Chains A and B, each alone.
Chain A
């Protein structure tokens, strides 16, 4: 296992639903990330948290709302999504004590919006 756990692994939701993705890391890291991985697109960085503080929001639509209650947990709250939001959502963590932090990824949540 990677030390980064994501739940659920698969999610199907309607466009009017509200759901949340959860990520938990057991590595003692202090930075956490949400990435979106769609077919034919690179890994898109969505949000970055450093010690619970959001440091980056890469022009992500407001229908995606992140929450980081502590440095071990990260959530992505979803509401009124569109079919084009269907993708693999990957959580990652890293330790900022490293000069050039590397990312440890969770197994992802495969999201389908119908």
Chain B
């Protein structure tokens, strides 16, 4: 069974940093792209970043230059390093697995999310 478990969220001051983790199990982690999607309180879904099976990464403009996605195959874990955090980064952050191996496509499994609050 596919499982994705996020951790690392919390309260951080504006300008601060945080690293989110997503522990994956139940599938061949190296073969699938993995993504981060966030949801501000009461708002819709916003795609943040993706790490491809070919190690290519993409970012939303809103986080480019501040966030870095990485993947540790040996630990079956996806990370999101978030620097220079702003109030509008406050959201629940979900990691998700893409549905088909080797490409960038739909997201077929999601974690339960971790809340990041940026506030002084």
**A and B from one assembly?**
no
Binding site for B on A (CB under 8 A): none
